[in-house]
Amino acid sequence: MPTSGQRALSSLRTLCPLRLVTRNARRNTLLPACALALLLPFVNPVLIHAQSPDGPMAPPPNVPIQQSPHPTVKVQATLVSTPIVVRNNKGEMVHTLDATDFQITDNGVRQKITHFDLGTDPVSMVVLVENSSRISVLLPQLRKTGILLTQTVMGPTGEAAVVSFNDSIDKLQDFTASADLLEATMSQIPEGTSGTKLYDAMAVGVEMLRGRPRKFTEKSATRRILLILAEATDEGSVSRLGEVLRKAQLANITIYSVGLSTTRSELQSKRQPEGQTPITPPGTFGRPPFPGSIQTPDTDAQEQGADITDLAIWAVKHAENIADAQALEAAAVATGGVHLATFRDRSIEKAIDEIGGELHSQYNVSYSPTDADTPGYHEISVKVTDKSLKVRARPGYYLP
């Protein structure tokens, strides 16, 4: 009488004729799926039960059941830092105030000051210097500014990097605390091509500073500084000024600029006669209109006294460019810095010295805004108890 195994093989040959199973089959031959299904009833059911239990497994006694962990969402509060310059009615900087003398509001809400310092916080700085052929006559002066940058601006506890730009953007020196390295780098600035990708270079400088660790303690907070030595001219940049300023504001980067202009110095060196004929053809204008306005003789005249703060806020809110002639000044205003144009009575060296003096004599104040998750433009207002003093701080920041 045939055994149960022989009966299974006979059935297998009948149901699966395409792959016959014989005694001479190779040892590694795989059974088709139908063969496996037929042989399953002959497998020991005890082994099957041991490998695949029915229903959920019961936990061992006295062992708590572990629930699947849910992802934790962490919200990092925005830390806002703003440099504050306070001057008296003579234009002199005031250094005698403390935190209780300041009132800061963010979107109209009073904020609690978490850090307060007067000019001693260390500096992390990127020096962005134009080396295009159009300012080649100024390169000898720029190459002599290294010692001013290290001693007056960077200071003994700071660090700095040097980036040049023209048609290309080149990192000449990475961040270092060595004054000798920075001075040597500045003394060897090469002359570049005629292009001026100012906004792209600013974007590079901002990203470099954003990547630096911002050491923050109760007594010290690293200040991020972008110092630009350039003409207010951009050609061919992909980046938009407003986008760059948004990132700079969120990273608490303050922009200072020294305006280089060979054209302006040549024009101002000659006395302009009264009633001089306009250099632009009749019916045309020498600069673009204020964003969102129609250009007429009246609006063009009004624009000469346009509030640069309004231009800066407009650029940040809309992430757009403005007239090149006002770009560096708007960048400085938007971030709480200052723009100094060089002309007959202000040399490049004097402008850098003024910036260094202000940088190490200003108040640096930080706070965590109460509505840090509210998108849009946040307006900052800074007041002091003495109403006779003049206060300068950045006007706000933009949260995407």
- Both 371 and 354 in a single domain? no
- Both 232 and 183 in a single domain? yes
In terms of pTM, does the model score above 0.85?
no
Q: What is the pLDDT of residues 122-135, one digit of tens each?
A: 999 999 999 999 99
Say what the alpha-carbon torsion angle 98, 100, 102, 107 is, to the nearest 10 degrees. Answer: 140
Q: What is the pLDDT of residues 138-165, one digit of tens each?
A: 999 999 999 999 999 999 999 999 999 9
Residue 93's nearest CA partner among 354, 381, 380 is 354
Q: Is residue 281 part of a domain?
A: no
- Both 217 and 344 in a single domain? yes
- Both 93 and 179 in a single domain? no
Q: Is residue 218 part of a domain?
A: yes
Most confident segment among 11-15, 105-109, 275-279: 105-109
Backbone conformation region of residue 155, classed left if phi is above 0, alpha if psi is from -120 to 50, else beta: left
Q: What is the pLDDT of residues 353-368, one digit of tens each?
A: 999 999 999 999 999 9
CATH number assigned to the domain comprising residue 339: 3.40.50.410
Q: What is the mean pLDDT of residues 12-36?
A: 42
- Both 89 and 113 in a single domain? yes
Q: Where is pLDDT greater, at 397 or 214?
A: 397
- The helix-helix angle for 241-250 and 308-318 (nearest 10°) equals 90
- Both 83 and 189 in a single domain? no
Q: Is residue 130 part of a domain?
A: yes
- Both 203 and 224 in a single domain? yes
- Both 257 and 342 in a single domain? yes
Asked if pLDDT for residue 273 goes beyond 70, the answer is no
Q: What is the mean pLDDT of residues 93-103?
A: 96
Residue 382's nearest CA partner among 163, 13, 83, 137 is 83
Q: What is the pLDDT of residues 311-343, one digit of tens each?
A: 999 999 999 999 999 999 999 999 999 999 997
Q: Where is pLDDT greater, at 176 or 78?
A: 176
- Both 352 and 382 in a single domain? no
pLDDT band at 221; cut points 50, 70, 90 = confident
Which pLDDT score is estimated for 343? 77
Q: Which residues of 31-59 are buried (b: 16+ CB within 10 A; e: fewer)?
A: eeeebeebeeeeeeeeeeeeeeeeeeeee
**CA angle centred on 312, ends 201 and 103, rounded to 5°:** 115
Asked if pLDDT for residue 223 goes beyond 80, the answer is yes
State the DSSP code for 287: S
pLDDT band at 211; cut points 50, 70, 90 = very high
H helix runs in 322-391, sequence order: 327-335, 348-359
Q: Is residue 135 part of a domain?
A: yes
Which pLDDT score is estimated for 371? 87
Q: Is residue 286 part of a domain?
A: no
Q: How far is the C-alpha of 211 from the C-alpha of 16, rounded, in Å?
A: 67
Q: Is residue 27 part of a domain?
A: no
Which pLDDT score is estimated for 399? 93
**Residue that is written with structure tokens 């040097």 in the block:** 162
Positive or negative CA dihedral for 349, 334, 177, 184? Answer: negative
Domain that holds residue 129: 121-265+303-360
pLDDT band at 180; cut points 50, 70, 90 = very high
Cβ pair 265, 348 in contact under 8 A: no
Q: Where is pLDDT greater, at 249 or 269?
A: 249
Pairing, β 109-110 against β 113-118: unpaired
Q: How many domains does the chain have?
A: 2
- Both 101 and 177 in a single domain? no
Cβ pair 176, 159 in contact under 8 A: yes
Average pLDDT, rounded, for the chain:
79
Q: How far is the C-alpha of 42 from the C-alpha of 160, rounded, in Å?
A: 79
Q: What is the pLDDT of residues 52-86, one digit of tens each?
A: 444 444 555 554 544 444 444 334 447 999 999 99
Pairing, β 390-392 against β 80-87: antiparallel
Q: Where is pLDDT greater, at 11 or 241?
A: 241
Q: Is residue 278 part of a domain?
A: no
Which pLDDT score is estimated for 4? 53
- Both 239 and 379 in a single domain? no
Q: Is residue 325 part of a domain?
A: yes
- Both 257 and 345 in a single domain? yes
